[in-house]
Amino acid sequence: MKPSGRAERRTSWIFSCFFMIDACGAQNKVVSLSSICLRKYMESDKPTIEEQITAVLIDIEQKGFSAIQPFSIGDVEERMMRFAQSNGVTLACEQLYMSAKQLQHCMRASKGAKGLVVSAEELVRFPKSRFKMDLYYDGECFIYTDEVSKFIIHPNYKMKVNREQVKLVNFITATRVKDPMEFTLPKYKTVK
């Protein structure tokens, strides 16, 4: 199915924002180019998940933080729900959430210095690409992996949203996989 014109335009500006940010070395060029992207985000009726992630990443790039509230990136996958029910894992809700704090955490400089940072494009694509990834449970968190990167999901994460303490199924961090054999260790259970 071909995406609608609006969806196609939105996707193209999202990735052109990252291309422009990555391609420009000078800070002032990054700020002016990403301001264009943020303006388009603010003008849209209801931002897509990709636009929300992009806006957070641009905020982090420009200001070092983002005030955008946590947002849903879709339903918890059926295989995760089945696994949780049959293994006594409590899922806080039926939606999977991302927050600016966690996106900032996975982009921090200490990870960058070690070559462990997942690209902005991978983070933007994650809400859709997760369905094609392998899924594991390590006794505490769920891990999506494509054998190059891994995305950690906490099933019952406590956080503040609008000054209120809530529990969510939440994206925690993303990192490069150092050892592809990691997921053969006994602590990882395959989620099918």
Question: pLDDT tens, position by position, for the chain (192 residues)?
Answer: 444 444 444 444 444 444 444 433 333 333 333 444 555 545 556 889 999 999 999 999 999 899 999 999 999 999 999 999 999 999 999 999 999 999 999 988 888 889 999 999 999 999 999 999 999 999 999 999 999 999 999 999 999 888 889 999 999 999 999 998 999 999 999 999
Q: Please report the pLDDT score of residue 101 as a whole number.
A: 94
Q: Please report the pLDDT score of residue 171 as a whole number.
A: 97
Closest CA to 166 of 91, 104, 92: 92
Q: What's at 73, amino acid-wise?
A: I
Cβ 141 vs Cβ 155: under 8 Å: yes
Closest CA to 122 of 96, 144, 92: 144
Tokens of 56: 């957070």
Q: What angle do CA 74, 175, 144 make, to 5 degrees?
A: 40
Backbone angles phi, psi at 62, to 5 degrees: -80, -45
Q: Please report the pLDDT score of residue 126 as a whole number.
A: 97
Cβ 58 vs Cβ 21: under 8 Å: yes
Q: Please report the pLDDT score of residue 12 as a whole number.
A: 43
Q: Looking at the DSSP assignment, which residues form a beta bridge with residue 167?
A: 158
Burial 149-158 (b: 16+ CB within 10 A, else e): bbbbbbbbbe
